[in-house]
Structure 1
Amino acid sequence: MVSGRCLCSGVRFEITGELGPVIQCHCSMCRRASGTAFATNAPVHADAFRIVQGQELITEYESSPGRRRAFCSRCGSPLYSRMLDRPEIRRVRLGTLEEDPGARPVAHTWVSAKAAWDTLCDDGLERFDEAPPPPYYGSPGPRR
């Protein structure tokens, strides 16, 4: 199990399943949502993701049709995103995790949209100009 929380600790959650591929997304929406050069996300099965405190503090924003980004309404921490056509998946923001999940980034996505000031280092990860093919995006790890 891995636990996570927002900045103010008002929202706490647990993940009991394995994370899917860890992706560093450079799209403009992820940059704006995270306030940094990219967002590091990993999919997890929705039934393995449980809010244990602060459900009432979670606010969702529809950033594009059918996509919702969840954040703490008190401190603004981004927590996860979900797609209405894929209700079985939550894409968790790895910066909210309290422990090392064991998973490591496997790719950079939307590199064509990276910030002009971002000097993407040569870290050996796969790079995709846009969205990657399956199994990268939205494929959680096996259920436990």
Structure 2
Amino acid sequence: MAQRLGLRAVDHTAVNHVLTAEPPIGLFELGHRLGISSGSATELVARLERAGHLERRRDGHDRRRVALYLGEETLTRVLGELAPLFAAVDDAAEQFTEAELAVMGRYLRLVAERMRHFARSDLAGSSYV
């Protein structure tokens, strides 16, 4: 995807974090996720903003907070690049019964929840059940 969008690896990673963050993240959180200093994060966001990949928007409830969002053109390009993959995944899903899909869905929700929990805590090296 990075090559298709003409992005460097760190730029692509930043765009991916902004795209998938829920709720939207700000500059400090992005820097933390990327393991870079606040100055480097500021420079990165400014560069991606100038290129139209990111937008900064004030929070509707807390005007002091600025959240990062994908630029409209970049979002359209990402979705366009992913459209064939989405179609292939839909085709693959048609190969299974509703009951099989329900079991897989339950499994994937549990895995995603465990991954989010792992990302929020220091579980490295500990047993996780």
Q: What is the TM-score of this pair, normalised by structure 1?
A: 0.27
Higher helix share: 2
**Which protein has the larger Cα radius of gyration, Structure 1 or Structure 2?**
2
Q: Relative contact order: is structure 1 or structure 2 higher (C-alpha 8 Å, sep ≥ 6)?
A: 1
Q: What is the TM-score of this pair, normalised by structure 2?
A: 0.29
Higher strand share: 1
